[in-house]
Chain A
Amino acid sequence: MTSNPFWSMSANPSRKQRPDNGEQSGHGEQRGSPARPHFPKKHLPPIPKNTAPVTKHSPAGTPAQSANGTHASYGPFYLEYSLLAEFTLVIKQKLPGIYVQPSYKSALMWFGVIFIRHGLYQDGVFKFTVYIPDNYPDGQCPKLVFDIPVFHPLVDPVSGELDVRRAFTKWRRNHNHIWQVLMYARTVFYKINTAEPLNPEAAVLYEKDVQLFKSKVVDSVKLCNSHLFDQPKIDDPYAISFSPWNPAVHEEAKERMFAYKRRPEEQQHKGMQVSGLSWVKPGSTQPFSKDDSPPQN
């Protein structure tokens, strides 16, 4: 449930495209939240075809990546593929109610949105941005910053940053993955932890006066949702932006989503080499074990 349902509209071709999964999960999301039948559709601007990215050469830039101890010229590829792999893992996890999308400008910055379906923060829709350190995966854990500081003991009331480090005191490659951070961000809203809070007020209220805490949370959720249609905080073609339901724009997309169908199988090339054959009966390890197999000598 992580990939954006509008992947196919917005993703650039070099990234992993998972329109199928995205649409499927979008589908599930739709049914999973009947409480908001007219939930506004996310709308992403089209790909800015003409905005070629600026290529600026700055000799004093980041040091060459040599995280893997190999020669530097492949460093960028390693970092990029590490991030791609992380993103693939996120997609695989199908985290409920979480969508993320890497920014157009930098693979080190991911835009996300989280839907809370139960509990104190029910109906909350919180946009956030994940910042990944550029020495990933050998640096600190990624930062997760909410666009609007949610009223929560672990969310900084000024910057909106979530206290991720308490869960990942040390970021360990191979053990820690970005999907875990996202998962953690979700968990935080279902299970309130008040120890060493970033927002002491929220922590104290939760301990002493849950009713007041609850009402503050409701206010906070309302505030967040009222800013839902605002322009994205960060100007990026792939930033997640919402727009009110507009049948002209969204109806068709919705139809397509519900009438989900896999891409038409690639056409059989006439006269081309046949490929991808199997006469192995499932569960067997014998060649030609299917019933319609040829006579064996």
Chain B
Amino acid sequence: MNSVCVFVCVCGQVLATGLSGLYSSLPTRLQVYSEDWHCLDPADWQQVPALVHFLHSLDFCSAVTKVAHPSIRSQLLGYIYDGFLVPVLAPALHKLTVEEVMTTTAYLDLFLRSISEPALLQIFLSFILLHTHDNVYILDTLVSRVNTPFQLGTVSLALFRTLIGLFCEDVMLQLVFRYLIPCSHLSRRQRRSLKQRDCYSSSAASFLLLMPSWCPVYLHSTNARSEHIHWPKGADLSVSDSVGYCRASDFLMDVNYLHYLWDARHTIANAQRACRFWSAPYDGTDPPAQEFRPDTPGDDIEDEEELIHRIKSDSIFSLVITSPPSALSPTPSSLEAVSNRAGRASSALELEWDDIFAGQDLCLSPSPSLPNGSEAAESGRSKLSPTPPQVLPLHIQEMQRTATKLVHGSYVEESEFLDDVQVYDLVARKDAKSAVLERMRAANQKASGSSSKGLHVGSTTSTVLTTTGKTVMETVNSIMSTRRRSEDEGRDERRKSTDYEITTTSEGYRNDEANNELETILERVEPPPFTNSFNVENHIITKSGDCDEERLQLKQNSENTTRQMGPNQNTQSDLCLDTNSLPNGHCEPQTPHVSANPPGSKATKNSSFLSQYCELMHSLGVEPDCDDMDDHHETFQRRVQALRQKLKEEDEFSTDFLWEEAEEEGETMEEEEEKEEERSSSANGGRRHGVPCTGPFISVLLSRLENLLENSISVNLLLTGILVQLVSYPQPLLRSFLLSTELHSQPSVRTLHQVLVSVHAQIERYVEDRPDYPALVTQAWRFLLAKDQDCKFRECLESQGGFIVLDPSLPNGSLKKALPLPPLSVLPPCPSIPPHAKSRVFAIVLFAEFLKELAAFAQEQSIAPDWWEEFESRD
């Protein structure tokens, strides 16, 4: 028995080291590159023997995991984690060149796709979700790379498509749901209607309204008397027994939409099935919105020794902080920022666009230099920590606060920041603890003392820090000005400068190869272009920027903040107390702006509402419980529900039929609440639930989508594909966020619909100036649809007896019979599109098709069976 164990242990070690060994023989760069290559297909990897080898041994690991005794299995998995993922794959994901990183990302994607054993997959996923490399979660790094304009961004998107396609609760929790659980992105009314369905396809209608005005469907609808239902009307059966839709001449469009509906139905059903093992319905009440997890686990687990060990082992790390941190900001936020920065600096130097905003952490929190900085920080932290349940994690709040301070003079709502990708990007990063900084400083002092190189580079790094400091100031200002200007102007400018930036950056990148020439790089490499950033203009400004001036500005700025800090902290704690005593119990992150408001004003508003509420309840003959204002609407809802329940159960003895009245009541209440909401939101500066946010991933995704016209075809396909995957998820929180087309949303949260509206406007504008476009697009569209149709029919014919795309037993008409297979010769010829216009033309077609797809998903989601109930009734 012992020997078996030993054998297996050895075997496990061999397996893990074998993986590492095989991995090291994989090509570090792949030569696949066509422009839209984004993932390793079988055709790709089968040509690389080393990769075939690796996948075989991964398969073998899967097989062993499957059959092995649990204890042995866990040992084996441990070896793979500690022997392959952490020491080999993690550094590989942070390699020096884009190509290498991109290749590693593609490998990781391939591995995830080829693992069939859940336990093994679990190890890989926990590596992605929980492992930190240089204090940054792998997941956060991957998310930030989605915004890379290079192929790395595309490959990262492909990886996320794989991840989301797993329907893994843990992944989705970290990626999306943890930001949605607090429901801060929803208004109260929306929060209550989370579980309601969109009965009348209004979302679908709103999506379809965004079709380009000149698009073929629209044209057809003008002469579309032929498009309607011939269902018998009411009791008048004798007159009409005709059934079904009459198809217009342009059957391609209609059939096309039916395909989308059909697809949507099956995709949703699959998603529902896949999510049946999830732990919670994510419907706004379970998990409860209050239960917010400020950060990922495992933050504090790392012990000092390990950290120092890591610092030592990571040679680049020693480059980072040599300037004494005490000279930097000692407030909690800035300390975090510094250590954060420190932790990520190495990767920042290697892959700048990973960390575009790394410097911002620092500069967003310019703070006075106090002698006992760290102690102050500790005490500051301890002051903050006992605050009641946070609506948002501490570091996000800090971010918000510092951001506000930064633009104090310029009439800026913090909310305007927070929907910016940049800030999300910042926020996404894990904040290191201030204690970590201490240790790192200690370690660094040792390191820097021993090496002159370290000193040299260290000083350069501090230059970077200040430089980026300026950049952030500029960024913030430019965000503001961009926002104040009309969006359109800005976009064109951005577009131009983005192009410019791409060239400079890649140039700088080539020079990067000699890694020790950091100075050159720092001068040449701009913060990389952010496809959708608001800050491109100021990159150029920064370029000519004068270091001293920047330092000066930074200093001034920090002094500014110092002045604000003192009183602010006081008000902070006051307000905390105040809000605690407020009935709704939210400790709202108050800002200096807000604190200017007399705290009483809100209370009075509240109490006036309270009395109204009491009156109302009295008039309804119910004893209001005014103490519990937070829950008053829930209580009311519950009461109504209880009444309904009663009605249902005892309607044998029920008194009267009360629909009208009950509904009236509900409505009155609703209106009251709305009013109250408006009032209170105007009282506290438009924010009641803290910072609404939907997380970095969603915002990166949406910002890339907004750039649809500029994206390559493959990026657009991936983006829309991922969004469709997300839309198929059955969880009400996600579903309602993505499909909601209501305007009554939190002002600072961008929804998918809003982004699509913006893209729609872009397209309309773009086409306006180019009269030849509609014809071109329509031609391309027809061609693509016909081709698609043809493919589908042929698939159908091939898999006869299988699943037929159009079911003949559809009640509304036998479509299959109505539609003869289009002979191949009928296919319209591929229009000759000028190559430079190709991606735009296809992007427009894709946009219109995406709208249909979304509409179809919205419609199918509205009639999908209740996922969670169904799933619970199973047990």
**A residues engaging B (CB < 8 A)?**
12-16, 18, 20-21, 24, 47, 49, 52-59, 61-65, 67-82, 84-89, 91-92, 96, 104-109, 118-119, 131-134, 137, 143, 145, 167-169, 172-177, 180, 183-184, 186-187, 190-191, 193, 234, 262, 266, 270-289, 293-297
Query: Besides the contacts A106-B243, A167-B657, A284-B279, what 12 more A-B pairs have beta carbons closer than 8 Å?
Result: A47-B809, A67-B200, A71-B217, A74-B208, A167-B660, A168-B660, A191-B655, A276-B273, A277-B168, A285-B293, A294-B123, A297-B131
Q: Would you mind naming 7 contact pairs between A and B with Cβ atoms under 8 Å apart? A: A20-B870, A77-B201, A107-B231, A191-B655, A277-B277, A286-B296, A297-B302
Please report the C-alpha to C-alpha distance between residue A92 and residue B292 in the assembled complex, in whole angstroms: 31
Please report the C-alpha to C-alpha distance between residue A189 and residue B477 in the assembled complex, in whole angstroms: 70
Please report the C-alpha to C-alpha distance between residue A6 and residue B718 in the assembled complex, in whole angstroms: 42
A186 touching B651, Cβ below 8 Å: yes
Kindly provide the distance from the CB of A84 to the nearest chain B CB, expressed in whole angstroms: 4
Please report the C-alpha to C-alpha distance between residue A233 and residue B218 in the assembled complex, in whole angstroms: 42
Residues of chain B from 801 to 833 with CB closer than 8 A to chain A in the complex: 807-814, 817-818
B278 touching A278, Cβ below 8 Å: yes
Question: Which of A64, A288, A289 is in CB contact (< 8 Å) with B227?
Answer: A64
When distances are taken between beta carbons in the complex, the residues of chain B under 8 Å from A277 are: 118, 121-122, 166-170, 277
Count residues of B near A (Cβ-Cβ below 8 Å): 121
A56 touching B230, Cβ below 8 Å: yes
Segment of B95-103, B492-500, B861-869 engaged in the interface with chain A: B861-869
When distances are taken between beta carbons in the complex, the residues of chain B under 8 Å from A297 are: 81, 86, 130-132, 298, 301-302
Kindly provide the distance from the CB of B647 to the nearest chain A CB, expressed in whole angstroms: 8
Please report the C-alpha to C-alpha distance between residue A20 and residue B113 in the assembled complex, in whole angstroms: 33
A82 touching B234, Cβ below 8 Å: no
B280 touching A282, Cβ below 8 Å: yes
Q: Given contacts A14-B809, A58-B230, A62-B228, is CB(A276)–CB(B862) below 8 Å? A: no
A190 touching B233, Cβ below 8 Å: no
B227 touching A274, Cβ below 8 Å: no
Q: Is B226 an interface residue, CB under 8 A from the partner?
A: yes
When distances are taken between beta carbons in the complex, the residues of chain B under 8 Å from A63 are: 228
When distances are taken between beta carbons in the complex, the residues of chain B under 8 Å from A77 are: 201, 204, 257, 261, 859
A88 touching B865, Cβ below 8 Å: yes
Kindly provide the distance from the CB of B240 to the nearest chain A CB, expressed in whole angstroms: 8
When distances are taken between beta carbons in the complex, the residues of chain B under 8 Å from A87 are: 863
A294 touching B122, Cβ below 8 Å: yes
Segment of B246-254, B368-376, B382-390 engaged in the interface with chain A: B246-254
When distances are taken between beta carbons in the complex, the residues of chain B under 8 Å from A273 are: 113, 116, 165-166
Question: Which of B86, B178, B296, B652 is in CB contact (< 8 Å) with A119?
Answer: B652
When distances are taken between beta carbons in the complex, the residues of chain A under 8 Å from B302 are: 297
Residue of B nearest to A64 (CB): B228
Residue of B nearest to A145 (CB): B235
B866 touching A92, Cβ below 8 Å: yes
Question: Which of A65, A81, A105, A266 is in CB contact (< 8 Å) with B232?
Answer: A105
A-B pairs under 8 A by CB, number: 324
Q: Is B846 an interface residue, CB under 8 A from the partner?
A: no
When distances are taken between beta carbons in the complex, the residues of chain B under 8 Å from A76 are: 227-229, 245, 812
Kindly provide the distance from the CB of A180 to the nearest chain B CB, expressed in whole angstroms: 6
A278 touching B863, Cβ below 8 Å: no
Q: Given contacts A64-B224, A137-B200, is CB(A190)–CB(B652) below 8 Å? A: yes
Q: Is B181 an interface residue, CB under 8 A from the partner?
A: yes
Q: Is B643 an interface residue, CB under 8 A from the partner?
A: no
Please report the C-alpha to C-alpha distance between residue A109 and residue B236 in the assembled complex, in whole angstroms: 11
A288 touching B131, Cβ below 8 Å: no
B81 touching A295, Cβ below 8 Å: yes
Residues of chain B from 375 to 422 with CB closer than 8 A to chain A in the complex: none
A73 touching B254, Cβ below 8 Å: yes
A276 touching B651, Cβ below 8 Å: no
Question: Which of A16, A172, A193, A279 is in CB contact (< 8 Å) with B865?
Answer: A16
Please report the C-alpha to C-alpha distance between residue A71 and residue B9 in the assembled complex, in whole angstroms: 67
A61 touching B228, Cβ below 8 Å: yes
B859 touching A134, Cβ below 8 Å: no
Which 3 A-B residue pairs are closest in the complex by CB-CB distance? A276-B274, A56-B242, A278-B169
Question: Which of A74, A278, A294 is in CB contact (< 8 Å) with B126?
Answer: A294
Please report the C-alpha to C-alpha distance between residue A18 and residue B269 in the assembled complex, in whole angstroms: 13
Question: Which of A18, A54, A119 is in CB contact (< 8 Å) with B241?
Answer: A54
Kindly provide the distance from the CB of A17 to the nearest chain B CB, expressed in whole angstroms: 9
Q: Is B632 an interface residue, CB under 8 A from the partner?
A: no
Kindly provide the distance from the CB of A93 to the nearest chain B CB, expressed in whole angstroms: 9
Question: Which of A64, A70, A186, A281 is in CB contact (< 8 Å) with B205?
Answer: A70
B859 touching A81, Cβ below 8 Å: yes
Residues of chain B from 200 to 229 with CB closer than 8 A to chain A in the complex: 200-202, 204-205, 208-209, 211, 217-218, 220-221, 224-229
Q: Is B197 an interface residue, CB under 8 A from the partner?
A: yes
B81 touching A73, Cβ below 8 Å: no
Q: Is B115 an interface residue, CB under 8 A from the partner?
A: yes
Contact digits for B657-690, partner A, Cβ 8 Å, 1 yes 0 no = 1011001000100000000000000000000000
When distances are taken between beta carbons in the complex, the residues of chain B under 8 Å from A72 are: 221, 224, 227-228
Q: Is B654 an interface residue, CB under 8 A from the partner?
A: yes
Please report the C-alpha to C-alpha distance between residue A294 and residue B121 in the assembled complex, in whole angstroms: 11
A276 touching B167, Cβ below 8 Å: yes
When distances are taken between beta carbons in the complex, the residues of chain A under 8 Å from B78 are: 294-295
When distances are taken between beta carbons in the complex, the residues of chain B under 8 Å from A18 are: 865
A108 touching B233, Cβ below 8 Å: yes
Question: Which of B115, B235, B243, B296 is in CB contact (< 8 Å) with A54?
Answer: B243
Q: Is B106 an interface residue, CB under 8 A from the partner?
A: no
Residue of A nearest to B121 (CB): A274
Please report the C-alpha to C-alpha distance between residue A168 and residue B663 in the assembled complex, in whole angstroms: 11
Please report the C-alpha to C-alpha distance between residue A245 and residue B274 in the assembled complex, in whole angstroms: 41
Residue of B nearest to A295 (CB): B78
Residue of B nearest to A88 (CB): B863
B235 touching A70, Cβ below 8 Å: no
When distances are taken between beta carbons in the complex, the residues of chain B under 8 Å from A180 are: 659
B253 touching A73, Cβ below 8 Å: yes
A279 touching B122, Cβ below 8 Å: yes
Please report the C-alpha to C-alpha distance between residue A87 and residue B863 in the assembled complex, in whole angstroms: 8
B231 touching A278, Cβ below 8 Å: no
Question: Which of B201, B297, B810 is in CB contact (< 8 Å) with A81?
Answer: B201
Kindly provide the distance from the CB of A275 to the nearest chain B CB, expressed in whole angstroms: 5
When distances are taken between beta carbons in the complex, the residues of chain A under 8 Å from B166 are: 273-277
Please report the C-alpha to C-alpha distance between residue A253 and residue B721 in the assembled complex, in whole angstroms: 43
Interface centre among B117, B275, B811 (most CB of A within 10 A): B811
When distances are taken between beta carbons in the complex, the residues of chain B under 8 Å from A47 are: 809
B811 touching A104, Cβ below 8 Å: yes
Please report the C-alpha to C-alpha distance between residue A63 and residue B80 in the assembled complex, in whole angstroms: 66
When distances are taken between beta carbons in the complex, the residues of chain B under 8 Å from A74 are: 204-205, 208, 257, 855
Kindly provide the distance from the CB of B64 to the nearest chain A CB, expressed in whole angstroms: 16
Q: Is B237 an interface residue, CB under 8 A from the partner?
A: yes
Contact digits for B268-292, partner A, Cβ 8 Å, 1 yes 0 no = 0010011111111000000100011
Residues of chain B from 98 to 139 with CB closer than 8 A to chain A in the complex: 113, 115-118, 121-123, 126, 129-132
Q: Given contacts A74-B208, A271-B116, A278-B169, is CB(A12)–CB(B228) below 8 Å? A: no
Residue of B nearest to A142 (CB): B234
A187 touching B654, Cβ below 8 Å: yes
When distances are taken between beta carbons in the complex, the residues of chain A under 8 Å from B275 are: 276
When distances are taken between beta carbons in the complex, the residues of chain B under 8 Å from A177 are: 199
B126 touching A143, Cβ below 8 Å: no
Kindly provide the distance from the CB of A191 to the nearest chain B CB, expressed in whole angstroms: 6
Kindly provide the distance from the CB of A94 to the nearest chain B CB, expressed in whole angstroms: 9
Kindly provide the distance from the CB of B260 to the nearest chain A CB, expressed in whole angstroms: 10
When distances are taken between beta carbons in the complex, the residues of chain A under 8 Å from B198 are: 85
Please report the C-alpha to C-alpha distance between residue A105 and residue B227 in the assembled complex, in whole angstroms: 18
Kindly provide the distance from the CB of B161 to the nearest chain A CB, expressed in whole angstroms: 12
Question: Which of B169, B807, B818, B862 is in CB contact (< 8 Å) with A85?
Answer: B862
Residue of B nearest to A268 (CB): B116
A73 touching B129, Cβ below 8 Å: no
Q: Is B627 an interface residue, CB under 8 A from the partner?
A: no
Interface centre among B253, B291, B651 (most CB of A within 10 A): B651
Please report the C-alpha to C-alpha distance between residue A118 and residue B386 in the assembled complex, in whole angstroms: 59
When distances are taken between beta carbons in the complex, the residues of chain B under 8 Å from A52 are: 808, 814, 817
